[in-house]
Amino acid sequence: MNNPEVLARGPWDPSQLEISWRSDPFEPEDDQSAEADRMLERLRERGSPSHDGLAARLVGYEVSDTRLKLELQPIRWALRLLGDDAGSSMSALCVVRDASGSWLAGRRAGWVASWAGRWALGAGGAVEVDENPAQTLARELEEEWSVVPDRLCVEALVRLANGMVMLIGQAWLAPGASVTPDEEHDTYAWWPPEVERWPAEADAPLRLMASMLAGS
């Protein structure tokens, strides 16, 4: 998440997201499709499942005091693998805190398509066609960690240097709630509420994100 551009800053309740979907899928250039094919083949060569199909891209957005409006469009999932232009493909990232304020961090397995072998915060993934991205946040949390949040808010809409757009949410777990990682993580930890006390494996992008969310 290097050099993210904050497009819109909340927080918003999930009910304050207003979503519209265009029916026409995004049409990439031929060279983009060919490069996406090559990237998929590289994933297969290292044992990663062939994740393709359609997901969401951001067409436009509007911000008001009480609403975040997003216009979305279907896009080929594999286009998000392009390092220089992901075509505004959209992902949702749900940062997770326990009742004491500690941060859930998981190390991504070596075979996954993104952030392989690196530590990440919470849960994340592509927004499916016709899905509300606020629902993606809760879905990914349950799929990756087998837990339902006590409360959830939408924090920000950001664009990464490669053109990927991320909807960032923050979820708080109920006291005593436990998590169970899925096969996309090979280990996990609860990092202290104070970012300055995080371990060395917490890299700069994670610290930047947490610092942005810490006051929410």
Instruction: Write down all domains in the chain, each with its CATH number in brackets.
Output: 5-213 (3.90.79.10)
Q: Which residues of 121-134 are buried (b: 16+ CB within 10 A; e: fewer)?
A: bbbbbbbbbebbbb
Eight-state DSSP code of residue 143: H
Separation of alpha carbons 97 and 173, rounded Å: 6
Q: For each successive 10 residues of the chain (216 residues), what is the average pLDDT?
A: 82 97 96 94 81 93 94 96 92 97 94 85 95 97 97 96 95 97 95 96 92 78
Q: What pLDDT is attached to residue 17?
A: 97
Question: 153 and 170 in contact (C-beta within 8 Å)?
Answer: yes
Q: What pLDDT is attached to residue 2?
A: 54
| Model pTM score | 0.92
Encoded amino acid at 111, one letter: W
Q: What pLDDT is attached to residue 212?
A: 86
